[in-house]
Every structure is written in structure tokens, then in C-alpha cells.
Amino acid sequence: MKQLKDFKDNIHSCSKCGLCQSVCPIYKITGNDCTVSRGHFVMLRGLLKGELKMSPKLNRYLDLCLKCGACSKFCPSDINVVDIIVAAKAEYFKHSFSQKLLSFFQKNFVFGLCVNFLSLFRKKAESKTFDKKVLYFGGCSSKIKGNNAVVKILNAAGIEVITPPFSCCGISLFARGDLRGFNHNIEKFVKILKQYNITDIVTTCASCEKSLKDYSRWAESDDSREFLKNIKIKNIYEYIRANELKLVLRKPVEVTFHKPCNIDNYDDIKWFLSNTTNLNYIEMNDFDKCCGLNGISKFREYRIMAEIFKSKRENILKTGVKYVLTSCLGCEVALKLFSRNSYRVDDLINFIASRI
Ligand code: SF4
Ligand code: SF4
């Protein structure tokens, strides 16, 4: 399993230029260097040298990171900040009973029992048959909402959708530093995937997409790492644009869109939003700024998270639209939580599929 010491060179490659400070949503509020990549790396260097010890205080600084990856996009040293924060959190996780308890609860109750119970009320849609076939990784979202929308839209693009019984991608375990739990999810994924002779996987949730793309770097087993290197993971918007799928909504409607941090192909989404007839897309200010979901569970940091939620909400309200669409189950939850019934939130694919 990867450990913090494996990232020593990356941590040392930080030049302390401070560019990460200009984009980090947390630093913008706290102004405290301990809450942004540059400061995190100073602390982690101390930890690796044995000058500092992992402590609840250090973990609290690491925990404030939303894992939005905004700093990595600007970092001249090209450091994958999220991987390092997770490896550091894994050091804390190993010795923390409360973190293990929370992880157990998330794994077995929230993403296990609750999601599986909700899936009992969803009937799986059957796909039409086409030469081009993809496997749909719907994660928890498809268990709760079903796979109808994805089947309807990809079938319209001439693509057959196969929906294997994949389980949760494990992103919450990864973010907490529960790497053993995360690896358990990776192995389950590999085992199911080996039953199909298809290498194209389609996702609709940005968090699932990020997790699946991380699998080949974080899998413990050499076999799984090799196997995963040949798997192509794309989100549905790449297929929609590549097939020039232009849909017509029954009635005109105005919408805005929140871009999840883990989506890299906003161009494809914008193409889809702009080429769907009767859909009037109004881009909100800072449409690509983190919704703050990773902060929801940080009740101690409520003041900081409230600031992030407030500015996202204000930007949504400025557009004057009734519908905010997104493409991540986590973002949906965060946007709904602070909507105060001023707007409705939906997944873009579900929204479009229910109106054509
Ligand atoms: S932008 Fe990158 S190199 Fe510069 S201080 Fe931040 S983490 Fe270090
Ligand atoms: S990942 Fe996001 S929240 Fe974390 S340090 Fe980088 S910019 Fe800040």
C-alpha cells in the first residue's frame, strides 16, 4: 500500500511559490498557510523528518482540504496535492479509533445498507442492442435513481449500455485515508469487470469518474494495477459530443450548471447544454468553484464552510433560474442542502432524459 514516504520527492518539489494560495477556497477564507498546499507540505516535511508528530491538530489542517484539486491545476511543480493529502490522512487513520468507526459507519450503513435499501425500489432499464457497447458504472447514484436516463440517452446515440452490479466507488473511504477499505472496493470492481470483454466504462458522476481513474494508481495488487491500465473511463458527455447527439426538450426551460471539481471536460458539457433545443443555459459566476461538499461533515469548521456555501448560493440566485444542474451525487447533496427551497437541483442527464 502507498505510504506518505513514497511521496517524499513530490513533497520536496514544492518551491513554496504560493500560487496555490490564489486559488484555494479554504485559504481565501482562513488566510492561514497551514490550510493550503504550501503549508501542508512544510508540515509534512517535518513529519517525514521526524521533527513533527501526526496529531489531531495536524489532521484537522489536512481535513480542511476540500480535495478540489484547484491548486494542482496551477502548481508549477505539477504536484498531485490530493494524493499526498490522502496519504498523510492514511497515516492518521491507522491509529485513530474515531476515524475507523466513521469509516465503518459510512461503508456499511450509508453506502451499504441505506443505498441498497433504496435500490430495491428501482427497476433496471433494458438497453437496446448496438455494435458499440459500454459498461455503465452508476455507483450509488444509479442505485438510488436507476439507470433509465443513461440507457435512454446513450441508446439515442446508438450505444448499447450494459449495467453490471458494481458497488460504490469508495471515494469517501479514499478521502478519509481508509486505503484498505478503498482497495477492497477496487478489488470488487476488478472482479466484476473481468467477467466482461469490454474495456469502455461510462460514468455520470464526477466523483465515481475520479475514483475509477485513481484505481490504477492506488490498487495494491500488481495484477489489478496492470489490468486497470487497459480500462478506458469516460463520462457520458464525451460520448454525447463525439456522436453529435442533439436532443429536443418538450418545453423551453432555463437552467444553470455547477461544474464538479472532478470533471475535466466542461467543454463537452457546455456543448451538450448549448446544443439541446429548448434548453436555455445561463452560466453562473464561478460555475467551476467547489461546492464545499467535503466540508459538510466538518461541523467544527462550520463558519468556513458556511462562507463557501454562501457564495455558491449567491451566484446561483444571480442567474434567476429555477433549476441548477450538476453531474456529481455529492455536489447535488451539497447544493440541495443550502438551497432553502430557492431553486431545484438535479443531475443533468436525469433532467434532460425526463424532458425529451
Ligand atoms: S503552487 Fe505548488 S509549488 Fe507553489 S507553493 Fe503551492 S504546492 Fe508548492
Ligand atoms: S485541493 Fe483545494 S482545498 Fe485542498 S489545498 Fe488544494 S485548492 Fe485548497
Report DSSP letters for 25-86, one per residue.
HHHHHH--GGGSHHHHHHHHHHHHHTSS---HHHHHHHHH-----HHHHH-TT---HHHHHH
The predicted pLDDT at position 300 comes to 63
The architecture CATH gives domain 101-239: 3-Layer(aba) Sandwich (3.40)
Classify residue 49 as exposed, middle or buried by CB count within 10 Å of its CB (0-12, 13-18, 19+). exposed
Tens-place pLDDT, residues 295-345 = 555 556 777 878 888 899 999 999 999 999 999 988 998 898 888 889 999
The boundaries of every CATH 3.40.50 domain in the chain are 101-239, 246-353
The boundaries of every CATH 1.10.1060.10 domain in the chain are 4-92
Q: Which long-range contacts (CB under 8 A, 24 or more apart) does 266-275 make?
A: 268/235, 268/237, 268/238, 268/240, 268/241, 269/237, 269/327, 269/348, 271/237, 271/240, 271/241, 272/237, 272/240, 272/241, 272/245, 272/348, 273/348, 275/246
CB-CB contact of 152 with 178 (8 Å):
no
The predicted pLDDT at position 102 comes to 85
The predicted pLDDT at position 343 comes to 95
Cβ–ligand 2 contact at 62 (below 6 Å): no
Domain 246-353 CATH class label: alpha beta
Report residues of the chain scoring pLDDT below 50. Answer: none
The predicted pLDDT at position 297 comes to 54
The predicted pLDDT at position 291 comes to 87
Q: How far is residue 348's CA from residue 256's CA, in Å, rounded to a whole number?
A: 10
Tens-place pLDDT, residues 223-266 = 999 999 999 999 999 999 999 999 999 999 999 999 999 999 99
Q: How far is residue 104's CA from residue 115's CA, in Å, rounded to a whole number?
A: 15
The full DSSP string for 172-185 is HHHHHT-HHHHHHH
The number of angstroms, rounded, from the C-alpha of 257 to the middle of its chain's C-alpha atoms is: 16
Q: How far is residue 233's CA from residue 156's CA, in Å, rounded to a whole number?
A: 20
Check: CATH 1.10.1060.10 for 4-92? yes
Strands 344-347, 160-162: pairing is: unpaired
The predicted pLDDT at position 295 comes to 54
Q: By alpha-carbon position, which residue is closest to atom 8 of ligand 1?
A: 14
Cβ–ligand 2 contact at 154 (below 6 Å): no
Strands 200-203, 133-137: pairing is: parallel
| pTM exceeding 0.95 | no
Cβ–ligand 2 contact at 219 (below 6 Å): no
Quick one: which of 153, 205, 124, 134 has its CA closest to 354?
153
Ligand 1 pocket list (CB less than 6 A): 14-20, 37-38, 71, 74-77, 79
Give the end-to-end CA distance of the chain in Å, rounded to a whole number: 47
The predicted pLDDT at position 246 comes to 93
